[in-house]
């Protein structure tokens, strides 16, 4: 089985969902999580705090610096993710379709299989 990352994107400036819409999103996400767990696809999932809560750690010539804010200066940030195991990309895309219907755009990326190197 291969592992895939399904990442949910937050877009700065996009309209904020209402409280009712958020509660529906949470319920539907819980339903998908339960379905993933029951199918054996579930590995791990999590939501992330806002990009402003990030700390960037850099090491340059042996000197470590830490700065506030996201590493990437962009209007799109990862808001949450699932790590799932699937037989192939098609199966991962089927899960992503279910997730996108609830959470918005989902990026699907396979993990490197370092054992094949």
Beta strand pairing call for 42-47 and 55-60 = unpaired
Does position 113 have pLDDT exceeding 90, yes or no?
Answer: no
pLDDT recorded at residue 33? 96
How far apart are alpha carbons 45 and 37 in whole angstroms? Answer: 11
**Greater pLDDT, 92 or 15:** 92
Question: What kind of architecture, by CATH, is found in domain 2-116?
Answer: 2-Layer Sandwich (3.30)
pLDDT recorded at residue 116? 60
Q: What does the pLDDT average to over 47-69?
A: 90
Selection from 50, 53, 42 nearest residue 84 by Cα: 42
Q: Is the pTM higher than 0.85?
A: no
Does position 117 have pLDDT exceeding 60, yes or no?
Answer: no
* Per-domain residue ranges of the chain: 2-116
Angle made by CA atoms 90, 8, 39, in degrees to the nearest 5 = 45
β-bridge mates for residue 46, sequence order: 81
Q: 13-25, pLDDT tens digit by residue?
A: 888 889 999 899 9
CB 47 within 8 A of CB 103: no
């Amino acid at each position: 089985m291969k592992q895939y990352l399904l990442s949910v994107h937050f877009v700065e400036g996009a309209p904020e969902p209402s409280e009712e819409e958020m509660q529906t999103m949470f319920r539907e996400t819980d339903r998908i999580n339960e379905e993933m767990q029951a199918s054996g696809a579930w590995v791990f999932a999590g939501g992330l705090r806002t990009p402003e809560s990030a700390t960037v750690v850099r090491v340059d010539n042996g000197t470590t610096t830490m700065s506030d804010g996201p590493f990437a200066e962009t209007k799109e940030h990862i808001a949450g993710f699932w790590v799932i195991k699937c037989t192939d990309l098609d199966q991962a895309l089927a899960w992503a379709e279910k997730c996108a219907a609830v959470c918005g755009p989902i990026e699907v990326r396979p993990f490197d299989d370092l054992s094949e190197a």
